[in-house]
Amino acid sequence: MTDRYCVFGNPVKHSKSPQIHAEFAHQTQQALEYTAEEAPVDGFAGAWRAFIDAGGRGANVTVPFKGDAFALCDTLSHRARRAGAVNTLILGGNGRTYGDTTDGIGLARDLAYHRVALMGKRILVVGAGGAVRGILEPLLDEQPSEIVVVNRTAAKAEQLASDFADLGSIRGGGFDTVNGTFDVVINGTSASLSGDLPPLPDTLFNANAWAYDMMYGSEPTVFLQWAGPRGAKLLDGLGMLVEQAAESFFLWRNVRPETASVREMLRQSLEFDAF
């Protein structure tokens, strides 16, 4: 019997997740079906229950349902509780729903894949929404010298830093508090989707610094287009997407897929779509 999995979102037709998990299933010889399911904005819990009733075993969750997924879980992983959000649902044998988040570990593994060292480094994280909350614990686990979180609403960044202060050196504030240079700058806002650029100083990057945008596209994002001429090495969020998917797949199937070939496949498909 083929097990069913899906990604819930709204909208969700653009999702690359079905393509990614089809590749994972093929390479690991797992019998599963993975689809994209658009849930009503005010009806996520009902959509999950209907999916279970139809034979569903697990799901990924994307915008705008990560908070809804968090709320419906019977059991949560430590990292999901920290993040206050869930992107991976697992139906247990007892019929209870287990929630986890793989976004942060996806980012950490993508940075490791590109040999971006974080230990002892100074990291700037732009944004203070759910996407950033999900990545802070894995970043702090790498023991950077400091993480600075900045946001248009300074109080949100300050609160976020306070929530994670027990894990390492982290502080938050508004854009006017950015000072000095950084080894890694991560754009965790959705500004790139609308072509907006966070108000960051031109003298932001150390020598050999990295600029990372959690968004991705067929062309470099506005943030990466800005960072490149200022001396940063550039990475987008496509690898993070693949790595977080691989971790979800492992949680469901207890087998870890290989990701390098899937990264390359997706990158080529993005370049093809650009023409």
Q: Is 127 annotated as a binding residue?
A: yes
Q: Is 25 annotated as a binding residue?
A: no
Q: Is 151 annotated as a binding residue?
A: yes
Token code pair at residue 167: 């894990």
Q: Is 17 annotated as a binding residue?
A: yes
- Using CA atoms, how far apart are residues 34 and 248, in angstroms rounded to an integer? 12
- Which of 13, 66, 121, 233 is catalytic? The answer is 66
Q: Is 155 annotated as a binding residue?
A: yes
Q: Is 156 annotated as a binding residue?
A: yes
Token code pair at residue 159: 């609160």
Q: Is 16 annotated as a binding residue?
A: yes
Residue 66 appears among annotated catalytic residues = yes
Q: Is 180 annotated as a binding residue?
A: no
Q: Is 30 annotated as a binding residue?
A: no
Q: Which residues are annotated as a binding site for NADP(+)?
A: 127-131, 151-156, 214, 237
Residues in the annotated binding site for shikimate: 15-17, 62, 87, 103, 216, 244
Residues in the annotated binding site: 15-17, 62, 87, 103, 127-131, 151-156, 214, 216, 237, 244
Instruction: Please list the active-site residues.
Output: 66
